[in-house]
Chains A and B, each alone.
Chain A
Amino acid sequence: MNQNSGMASLWAATCLIFIISLLGWITHRSVISETRRSQQQLFAAQALASSESLLETAIAQIDSVYTGQDIAIDTSFWRNASNSQCPSALASPQWQCLKWLEGEVGTFDNRISALAWPESIDASNSFVLFVRDVRMAPHKIKITAQISLNSAQAGVGSRATVQQSLYIPISAPFTPHVLEPTPRPESVECTPIEWRKQFGKITPAQLKAISTAQLQNGLTSVSQPSRSVYWIDSPLPWTQSLGTLSAPVVLIFSDLACALQCPQVASQAAITGMVYFQSANACQNPVSLYTLNPEAIHFEWPAGIDASRVQRISGSWKNAGF
């Protein structure tokens, strides 16, 4: 009966050790797993800090581009922009997108310096994307910064995306000047209408920049949505019908177009919106100002804002996603 008691004890000891070892192993795995989770959290926080740094760098870049500069720089800044660079959800031609990768910035205008990319990011997997709606809100830019940590960081490959929107001084708060539609005058009498009466604080340069942006992005009278601002420097007669009651336009003939004599607007050209001649020479050409309202340039601004400088839009900071 006691013949196998030694072996049984040995088995019992072995089983006990096995169970203890198993428990120890499980505990160790648990600790390692917790350590890795904690490390991943740290890497994610580092990636987020780097993406915020890149976002802040891009915000400073926009600030330096638009502050104290001629607004014509808007055209230079967005020169390489196109709708094709937009995320698929923003396929409509009203969206203008500019994607910056390292080494592709600041080479086309000496007033725009190169972006100072943070040292911690992998430039081949990082970018800054500027997006704006050139028809409805050209004065708001949404900046998205996406980064991947480089091999100098412990959390190599960790990614993060942040975004924030800014107001830029390409427009100004506007109080609509409700005017009755005026019939095309028959007489030659005409008084040039003061710019500020029609456009408030919005400057000619700003409207020209918006017009250029819409043209560059492929908005036309037949696109969906259609172009809303036309800045014309050509003295050639205008024959195209523009605008609808639901989508009025602003058509401006510049000083340049009116240098000698303002262009004729053909009688068959129906313009719904506003036509404005920048020059006093408009009086040489009794083309009507047939205004419904200048809704096409009525962009949404918060009340009381100082629109002369770049500002962050409160509550627009977002972590991840487009």
Chain B
Amino acid sequence: MPFHDLQQPSQAGFTVLEALFASAVLALGLFGSFQLSTASMAANHSQRNLDLASGLAQDLAECWQVPSAFCISQFQNSQNTSALSNEAGVQFERRWNTTSISTQGSDPKLLQNLQISVKWPNQDKFNGTSELSWQIRRASTPTWVGL
């Protein structure tokens, strides 16, 4: 019998301890990675909804007092609300309200304020919804554009 054969006891393969330790390291690493992925996805999802909400608010604000057919139709809803949803099925509710800011002795329509509110469901919030408020003012002072 060769010498090296005599030197090999039954040490091939993993011991239970090694396997447990490797599994624990693997589990710990995977758990951390999973947590990071979950947090990233949640942040991404939340930001995507916030971006969409701000886009809806800004879109309406830009349309205010613009005499185009599309913009006029945006403000024709008598309820001042509109429901919209994104591709993930999240429902956004957009509300708006216009008020006059009158100054002493001036025409009440000289300065007007548009208040826009966009709400959408968010399980991370205490009341289950997130809200974005947007405010813009506009004076009726005309622009001289020539004859």
Binding site for B on A (CB under 8 A): 2-3, 5-7, 9-10, 13-14, 17-18, 20-21, 24-25, 27-28, 31-32, 34-35, 38-39, 42, 45-46, 49-50, 52-53, 56-57, 59-64, 67, 110-111, 113, 116, 118-120, 166-167, 302-305, 310-314
Contact = CB atoms under 8 A, between A and B. Distances in A.
B56 interface: no
Q: Is the interface of B mostly helix, strand, loop or mixed?
A: mixed
B146 A59 contact: no
Given A118-B137, A304-B147, A314-B144, A13 B51 contact: no
Contact of B58 (A45, A119, A313, A314): A45
Q: Which 5 A-B pairs give the minimum distances between C-beta atoms? A: A17-B29, A64-B106, A113-B104, A60-B111, A60-B139
Contacts of A120: 135
Contact of B51 (A5, A42, A111): A42
Given A63-B110, A302-B146, A24 B32 contact: yes
A18 B11 CA distance: 28
Interface string B122-147: 00000000000011111111111111
A192 B21 CA distance: 111
B101 A39 contact: no
Nearest to B114: A53
A59 B140 CA distance: 9
A2 B15 CA distance: 12
Given A49-B136, A113-B105, 18 more contacts: A2-B11, A7-B18, A10-B21, A20-B30, A39-B47, A42-B54, A45-B58, A46-B134, A56-B139, A57-B139, A63-B139, A64-B105, A116-B111, A118-B135, A118-B137, A303-B147, A304-B147, A311-B144
A53 B43 contact: no
B111 A14 contact: no
A119 B39 CA distance: 34
A32 B39 CA distance: 9
A9 B143 CA distance: 76
B84 interface: no
Contacts of A32: 40, 43
Nearest to B43: A35
A149 B67 CA distance: 30
A27 B32 CA distance: 13
Nearest to B138: A56
Contacts of A111: 104-105
Contact of A6 (B14, B32, B110): B14
A64 B143 contact: no
B141 A166 contact: yes
B146 A56 contact: no
Contact of A314 (B8, B14, B145): B145
Interface in B88-111: 101, 103-107, 110-111
Nearest to A14: B25
A35 to B, nearest CB: 5
B69 to A, nearest CB: 24
B33 A24 contact: yes
Contacts of A62: 141
B37 interface: yes
A21 B32 contact: yes
B118 interface: no
